[in-house]
Amino acid sequence: MCGIAGILTKTEINHDLENLVLKMQNAIKHRGPDDLGTYISEDRRVALAHTRLSILDLSPAGHQPMSTPDGRYWITFNGEIYNFSQLRQNLISQGEQFQSQTDTEVILKLYQRMGSNCLEHLRGMFAFAIWDDWEKTCFMARDPLGIKPLYYWSSGSTLVFASELKAILASRLPALNLSPEGLYGYLVYGSVPEPYTLIADIHCLAAGHWLYWQGDRVTKQQYWQINFTPQAISPIEAQEKVRNALVDTIEHHLVSDVPVGIFLSGGIDSTAILALATKVQNKQISTYSIAFEETQWNEGEVAKKVANLFGAKHTEYKVTASIAKQFFPEFLQAIDQPSIDGFNTFFVSQIAHEDGMKVVLSGLGGDEIFGGYKSFEKIPQMLAWGKTLQTIPVLGKNIGKGLSRWGKSPKLKRLGDFLEQPPSSASAYSTFRGIFSHQEACAIMQQYIPHQPLTTYIFPSADTHKADLTIEDEVSLLEITCYMRNQLLRDSDVMSMNWGLELRVPLVDRNLFEAVASIPSNMRLAIGKKLLIQSVPELPEWVVNRPKKGFYVPVDKWISGDLQNHFNNVKVPDNISLTHWYRHWSLMMLQHWLERTYA
């Protein structure tokens, strides 16, 4: 796991490449505390930077940017390829020779042989750029499910890319104009939806896509997408399929030359990972959790009990309001783009880092593919209700207009948004996951970009219109491509890397997804993650039968107490309520980010 950055150009800025790329590298130095490297081509058309967190082949042989022996191809790579050993052996059998034991060199050799088709063979999380110094082209790619981020900005024949938005901003090349789509998406959903960022003309390369730079021309193409393909299968066969896929993904995610720990919340997903990890390796596993003084939020005792059951070495960190206040400025500095999440991952990553850990597994992803959220029940109900109201078209629309304008609660205003539109899973999802309503978001945007009003709704762009998808499949697809990708994965990456920690997500795995995609939604998404529970009988009943809780932090209490000073000066138009903590939090984070970015 590392940080990458680079500048591609023909003539515009090649006189200042060293200075610019070093500024970018410095902005992501926290992502790779073990080594730094840069490469600038002789013709000064490219500058690549890398910051390394050594996980595989800890020797200097893993230094990046890395090149082929002939100096033609140069790579800067962030991520892990879990099947690299098998790929390496295949390449050796075909006559290839290797100078290191790294997955980086495997990617380089594969690309040298098969170009963009190399992506079909890579299992893991990745974002990388490969420069061809003979053809003067650059190939970039992002992993299928969007675990690792890759941002870019292009103008004329210049393209700038990096693992974090802040590195592109450090180059001072893009104009700092706010993106209406990015800002609207943030206000409505609590995170900036890809491919947008908060800065106009800086984009996130979409998950499962590659990009090819040829001077004046940039080509993008999708190479993988999620496909649910239900097939006839018995419940027992479904359980076996899930069990085998889970064991397989956990075995692959434990590949490392350094110890691997686990974030443990005491919920079903992280407990399942610990249970299966204990079976596939003999070493004692280190687990980490955070606890709180506030009893309604505290899951520390459950996590401790789970760790003891499976013989793990457990570390718990009690986060008090005063500790939160102490570290809050550092948390604010760590953010790359604002979000309503991330504070929890910031703290649990800190304790793993302080325990000397470099790699941890997280249970992120289980709710999205096995139906763990309330959205799997609520959104079908909303759709049924919306379609019933549509039989009297004027009634539904007028109720919607009334609620969106005069609804007394934020939830009623967002419900009004839903009723004003033709009912769809995307509009229902927007209402269910929403932070601010459409009208509220537009009013807040006027404070920041008054001359660029948005008048139309922007709904999630997940491909939910396929005729063979059930409503539950559509919800799963939306949760995977929106909430998981834009918020959970992005915050997990930024906050873990802030502490020089690699966070792996075995439940967000291409092979696992392809295996379970054939299981019909009535089995795969049975309420309460029934299929997952049946596939891991090692789960204790007292974990399975607990009411579902998220991995939350008691921010609502802290906002009115120890953290109050950070929230006093939040700008908000009249008549917009901040009674819910996440609305107040989202505007505070935005305001801080803007002050830092425009300082």
Q: What is the pLDDT of residues 205-231, one digit of tens each?
A: 999 999 999 988 999 999 999 999 899
Domain 2-174 adopts which CATH fold?
A: Glutamine Phosphoribosylpyrophosphate, subunit 1, domain 1 (3.60.20)
Q: Please give the Cα distance from 103 to 108 (Å, whole number).
A: 9
For the chain, percent of residues with pLDDT exceeding 70? 93
- What's the whole-number average pLDDT of the chain? 90
| 101 Cβ neighbours under 8 A, 6+ residues apart | 56, 57, 61, 62
pLDDT at 122 over 70: yes
| 310 Cβ neighbours under 8 A, 6+ residues apart | 274, 275, 278, 285
The residues annotated as belonging to the active site are 2
- pLDDT at residue 452, as a whole number: 73
- The string of pLDDT tens digits covering residues 327-347 is 999 999 999 999 998 999 999
Domain layout of the chain by residue ranges: 2-174, 235-372+477-553, 375-469
Helices and strands of the chain, counted as H and E runs? 24, 17
pLDDT at 4 over 70: yes
pLDDT at 381 over 60: yes
Chain CA centroid to CA 412, Å: 29
What average pLDDT does the segment 522-550 reach? 90
What average pLDDT does the segment 67-95 reach? 95
Q: Quickly tell me which residue has 């919306």 as its tokens.
A: 386
Give the CATH number of domain 235-372+477-553; options: 3.40.50.460, 1.20.58.1610, 3.40.50.620, 3.10.180.10: 3.40.50.620
- The string of pLDDT tens digits covering residues 57-69 is 667 777 889 999 9
| Phi, psi (rounded to 5 degrees) for 204 | -100, 125
- B/e letters for 453-463, b = 16+ CB within 10 Å, e = fewer, are ebeebbbbebe
- pLDDT at residue 477, as a whole number: 95
- The string of pLDDT tens digits covering residues 384-426 is 988 887 777 676 667 777 777 776 778 888 888 888 888 889 9
Say if CB 316 and CB 300 are below 8 A apart: yes
Q: Sheet holding 202-204: strands in order across?
A: 35-40, 46-52, 2-8, 158-162, 151-155, 202-204
What average pLDDT does the segment 94-123 reach? 94
- pLDDT at residue 419, as a whole number: 81
pLDDT at 173 over 80: yes
- Of the listed ranges 257-266, 295-304, 379-388, 500-509, the one predicted with least confidence: 295-304
